[in-house]
A and B are shown apart, each in its own frame.
Chain A
């Protein structure tokens, strides 16, 4: 048998990647089942974070009945919306947190030897089950607020909700990709990710609290205004949807694409001198 040199180029399309991801996911879940203690502790951790976030929220509202004209239930809606929108980044892009260590130790090089997309290969390695707990918590909050505000439930509204939730999550993914990719250029940039992840806590407040330059900054540069505020207006103010909400899906794809390009540029730039 001879080497495969002369064979035609193999094409790897969307279907190929979907199939590979599914296979890795299944294997990964199987091996995770063998760490039951870890799963339990992580789940407790996840519940604790969400509870603590919720307690903070309650304490705040006990002292201050409304924020910038947003009452308790509307704020709660925003809160639930942001939690659900954070699920994809938590579940599918969690390996970003390991990027820094792998780049520094030189282990990252192993992702560059396979005939598949480096970004995909890297992200596919970790599926974070804990994100599902957050998802459940977010959906619960969202439904609770939804009922109290009295938004009608129609297929159109649901479709809109799904579309804008996906939009919102694209922005969050983009933020975390870009934050993680800084480690290709900057040694010791771990803090950038930590702080960007903390920025997300501000996504659950109405972004009209920002003024001047900072409104532009938090809308177009570090787009936390798009992680919950603008997309959720599509549901909350369906009679008076602002232009930015309409633009959100396209902008979300653009931001995601840019962050992906930035990440890949990092891979190319990185000189792998780390021993």
Chain B
């Protein structure tokens, strides 16, 4: 693996993202307003509940969880499915396949640049604001390091899911439908719209073992040191789940892609 070549893609991605300066500013601003909405909604919800702690989550916990989940969502969001379907329809996919790099790697590293920019422009500022506003609600220790590791794993799991869904686009033109199904399932079952702690027990049992959790819930749980993740015993199962899914999905995705890509070559684009 030639790292220099991969980092060149990252660099190009960063430069491309920075071209859209007004777009970036507007994105930041729109995000802020969204967070205000989340804040008011949950403030009202907790005020109506009458108690400070619901399912082990205080208002502050819930806020941190949801705000950072949104920030993670923005930073992790990829448009692989849309890009794929567009390049299939235009025939550009053939050019991508001819690049001297495996398609999967090429896609991953092309996106890495925008991930870096978004991490610096959306996640870090949000994190700092949350840190200051909640003074001290986020533990500042080794958990930050574990969180970083979990985020990288989350990125890999998320990318693998995107690639699998994108591969389905080789079979159907119904990109919108496929994408919305994916998005809906991921948003709901990963804890991005409602913390998983609020899910009913029976549902929780199932969701705990699904890959979606590895994307938002696990990194955030680790960051907030919930579920004993401040101990090695609590931490290991989390990483184990992420790693297992990262491996399974990468493998499954690669096999699925290799099998499906023959189809395009047959169709001639």
CA separation between A49 and B181, bound complex, in Å?
7
B142-185 vs A, Cβ < 8 Å mask (1 yes, 0 no): 00000000000000000000000000000011101111110011
A244 vs B199: C-alpha distance in the bound complex, in angstroms? 37
Name the residue on A nearest B178 (C-beta): A41
Residues of B contacting A56 in the complex (Cβ-Cβ under 8 angstroms): 188, 193-194
From A164-172, A188-196, A266-274, give the one contacting chain B. Answer: A188-196
For the complex of A and B, list the 9 residue pairs with the smallest distance between their C-beta atoms, beginning with the closest: A188-B20, A188-B23, A41-B177, A209-B44, A42-B177, A45-B180, A38-B174, A45-B177, A41-B174
Residue from the set B20, B47, B184, B200 with the largest chain A CB neighbour count within 10 Å: B184
Give the contacting residue for B23; candidates A48, A65, A191, A202; CB below 8 A.
Answer: A191
Chain A residues within an 8 Å CB radius of B26: 182, 186, 189, 191-192
* Cβ-based interface call for A35 (8 A): yes
Q: How far is the CA of A138 from the CA of B206 in the complex (A)?
A: 29
Judge whether A202 and B27 touch: CB under 8 Å: no
Is residue A229 contacting chain B, with contact meaning CB distance below 8 A? no
Task: Supply 18 further A-B pairs (C-beta < 8 A) apart from A49-B184, A192-B26.
Answer: A38-B172, A38-B173, A41-B178, A44-B177, A45-B179, A45-B180, A52-B187, A59-B198, A62-B200, A64-B46, A68-B48, A182-B26, A187-B23, A188-B24, A191-B26, A195-B34, A205-B44, A209-B40
- The answer on a CB contact under 8 Å between B20 and A214 is no
CB A216 to nearest CB in B, in angstroms, measures: 12
Write the chain B residue with the least CB distance to A196.
B30
Q: Does residue A60 face the partner (Cβ distance < 8 Å to B)?
A: yes
* With A41-B178, A192-B26: A186-B20 Cβ-Cβ less than 8 Å: yes
Residue in A closest to B51 when the chains form the complex, CB atoms: A64
Nearest residue (CB) in A for B203 is A59
Q: Quote the shortest CB–CB distance from B1 to chain A (angstroms).
A: 31
A48 CA to B177 CA, complexed, in Å: 10
B22 touches A (CB below 8 Å): yes
* A63 close to B (CB within 8 Å): yes
Cα distance, A192 to B29, chains bound together (Å) = 9
For the A-B complex, the count of residue pairs with Cβ-Cβ distances under 8 Å equals: 124
Q: Which of B30, B44, B173, B176 contacts A45 (CB under 8 A)?
A: B176
Q: Is B54 an interface residue (CB 8 A)?
A: yes
Shortest distance between the CB of A50 and any CB in chain B (Å): 9
Q: Is B37 an interface residue (CB 8 A)?
A: yes
Minimal beta-carbon separation of A201 from chain B (angstroms): 8
Give Cα A44 to B26, complex, Å: 33
Complex: chain A residue closest to B27, CB-CB: A191
Which residue in B44, B45, B48, B180 is a CB contact (below 8 Å) of A49? B180
Contacts of B47 in A (CB 8 A): 68
Partner of B30, one of A46, A63, A185, A192: A192
12 inter-chain pairs at a CB distance below 8 angstroms, sorted by A residue, are: A41-B172, A48-B181, A48-B184, A56-B188, A67-B48, A188-B17, A188-B24, A189-B26, A196-B30, A205-B41, A209-B40, A209-B43
B residues less than 8 Å from A196 (CB atoms): 30
Residues in A neighbouring B172, C-beta threshold 8 A: 37-38, 41
Asked if B22 and A189 sit within 8 Å, CB to CB, the answer is yes
Instruction: Using A64-B54, A214-B40 as known contacts, say yes or no to A52 and B34 having CB atoms under 8 A apart.
Output: no
Are A64's CB and B45's CB within 8 A?
Answer: yes
Q: CB distance A48 to B44 under 8 Å?
A: no
Taken together as a complex, chains A and B put the C-alpha atoms of A65 and B45 apart, in Å, by: 9
> Is B33 among interface residues, defined by CB-CB distance under 8 A?
yes
Among residues 25 to 77 in chain B, which have CB atoms less than 8 Å away from a CB atom of chain A?
A: 26-27, 30-31, 33-34, 36-37, 40-41, 43-49, 54-55, 74
In the complex, which residue of chain A has the Cβ closest to the Cβ of B74?
A191
Q: How far is the CA of A199 from the CA of B31 in the complex (A)?
A: 10
Whole-angstrom distance between the Cβ of A15 and the nearest chain B Cβ: 33
| Chain A, range 35-87, C-beta contacts under 8 Å to B | 35, 37-38, 41-46, 48-49, 52, 55-56, 59-60, 62-69
Closest to A50 in B: B184
Contacting pair B173 A186 (CB below 8 A) = no
Q: Across the interface, which residues of A come within 8 angstroms of B177, CB to CB?
A: 38, 41-45
B residues less than 8 Å from A41 (CB atoms): 172, 174, 177-178, 181
Asked if A19 is an interface residue, CB under 8 A from chain B, the answer is no
Q: Contact flags (1/0) for A107-148 with B, using CB distance below 8 Å?
A: 000000000000000000000001000000000000000000
CB distance from B31 to the nearest CB of A (A): 7
User: Of A52, A205, A210, A214, which contacts B188 at CB under 8 A?
Assistant: A52
